[in-house]
Structure 1
Amino acid sequence: MLSSSSASTPLKPTSAMVDPGPSAPDFRRVAIFMAIAIFLSSALSLPLALGLLPEVLLTLLVPLAQLAPLIAALFVRRSGTHLRTELALAVPSWSRLLLTVAVAVGLFSLVPTVRFLLGIAIGVPSMLEALPPVLVAVPIVLVMQSVFAIGEEVGWRGWLHGQLRSLGFWPMALLIGAMWAVWHLPVLITLGLDGRSMITYLGTILAAAPLLSALRDYSGTVWAAVLGHGLLNSLRVALEQNTLGVPTQMQAWVLDIGTWVLWILAAWLLLQLRGLARVDHPGSGGDSDLTGG
Structure 2
Amino acid sequence: METYFSNILTTGSDEEKARVRLARRGLLVFFAMLVPLSILSYALLMTSPIFVLLLMWAPGLSSIFARIVLREGISDISLRIGGKQTLKKLPMILLLPVIIGLFAYGIAWVTGLVQYVTPDTFIKAPSAVIFVGTVLMQMLFGTIIGVLSSTGEELGWRGYMLTRLIDARIPKPVLTSGIIWGLWHLPVMLVGNYYSGPYPALSVVLFMISVTSFSYILSRLRLSTGSVWAAIFLHASWNAVIQDAFDLFSSGENVLLWTGESGIFVALALFIAAWMTSRKPLEIRRL
Range class of TM-score, shorter chain:
0.7 to 0.9
1:216 is the counterpart of 2:222: yes
Instruction: Give the letter aligned to residue 218 of structure 2.
Output: L
1:89 is the counterpart of 2:96: no
CA root-mean-square deviation: 3.5
1:262 is the counterpart of 2:251: no
Aligned residue for 2:61? 71
Residues 152, 247 of structure 1: CA spacing in aligned structure 2 closer, same or farther, 3 A cutoff?
same
- SS of residue matched to 1:67: helix
- SS of residue matched to 2:214: helix
Moved over 6 A (4+): 167-170
Alpha-carbon distance in structure 1 between the residues aligned to 2:45 and 2:160: 29
Aligned residue for 1:280? 285
Alpha-carbon distance in structure 1 between the residues aligned to 2:186 and 2:249: 28
CA contact (8 A) 2:108 2:259 kept: no
Once structures 1 and 2 are overlaid, which stretch shifts more, 167-176 or 179-188? 167-176
CA contact (8 A) 1:88 1:154 kept: no
Deviation of the 1:116 alpha carbon: 2.6
CA contact (8 A) 2:146 2:239 kept: yes
Alpha-carbon distance in structure 1 between the residues aligned to 2:193 and 2:210: 18
CA contact (8 A) 2:179 2:212 kept: yes
Deviation of the 1:240 alpha carbon: 3.1
Once structures 1 and 2 are overlaid, which stretch shifts more, 226-235 or 61-70? 61-70
1:45 is the counterpart of 2:42: yes
* Alignment of structure 1 residues 196-235 onto 2, 5 Å: 196=199, 199=204, 201-235=207-241
Alpha-carbon distance in structure 2 between the residues aligned to 1:250 and 1:154: 29
CA contact (8 A) 2:100 2:269 kept: yes
Residues 266, 203 of structure 1: CA spacing in aligned structure 2 closer, same or farther, 3 A cutoff?
closer
Deviation of the 1:134 alpha carbon: 3.0
Alpha-carbon distance in structure 2 between the residues aligned to 1:37 and 1:278: 30
Identical aligned pairs, as a percentage? 19
CA contact (8 A) 1:210 1:264 kept: no
Aligned pair count? 255
Match for residue 117 of structure 1 among 92, 106, 123: 106
Deviation of the 1:185 alpha carbon: 3.6
Alpha-carbon distance in structure 2 between the residues aligned to 1:280 and 1:224: 13
Instruction: Give the letter aligned to residue 30 of structure 2.
Output: F
| CA-to-aligned-CA distance 1:257-280 (integer Å, 9 cap, x gap) | 3322321332343444xx511123
Q: Report which of the two structures shows the higher radius of gyration computed on alpha carbons.
A: 1
Residues 271, 46 of structure 1: CA spacing in aligned structure 2 closer, same or farther, 3 A cutoff?
same
Residues 144, 201 of structure 1: CA spacing in aligned structure 2 closer, same or farther, 3 A cutoff?
farther
| CA-to-aligned-CA distance 1:64-116 (integer Å, 9 cap, x gap) | 2222112211222374544132x23234x411111111111222211111113
Structure 1 unaligned regions, length at least 5: 1-16, 284-293
Aligned residue for 1:157? 158
Deviation of the 1:122 alpha carbon: 3.6
1:145 is the counterpart of 2:146: yes
1:134 is the counterpart of 2:134: yes
| CA-to-aligned-CA distance 1:22-76 (integer Å, 9 cap, x gap) | 8548445424422421311221331453xxx4x3xx22x1112222112211222
Match for residue 98 of structure 1 among 87, 101, 122: 87
Alpha-carbon distance in structure 1 between the residues aligned to 2:134 and 2:178: 28
TM-score (norm 1): 0.72
Structure 2 unaligned regions, length at least 5: 1-5, 11-15, 119-126
Once structures 1 and 2 are overlaid, which stretch shifts more, 182-191 or 256-265? 182-191
Instruction: Give the letter aligned to residue 59 of structure 2.
Output: P
CA contact (8 A) 1:84 1:90 kept: no
* Alignment of structure 1 residues 233-252 onto 2, 5 Å: 233-246=239-252, 248=254, 252=258
Instruction: Give the letter aligned to residue 173 of structure 1.
Output: V
Alpha-carbon distance in structure 1 between the residues aligned to 2:247 and 2:255: 16
- SS of residue matched to 1:226: helix
Residues 258, 186 of structure 1: CA spacing in aligned structure 2 closer, same or farther, 3 A cutoff?
closer
Alpha-carbon distance in structure 1 between the residues aligned to 2:152 and 2:37: 13
Residues 47, 218 of structure 1: CA spacing in aligned structure 2 closer, same or farther, 3 A cutoff?
closer
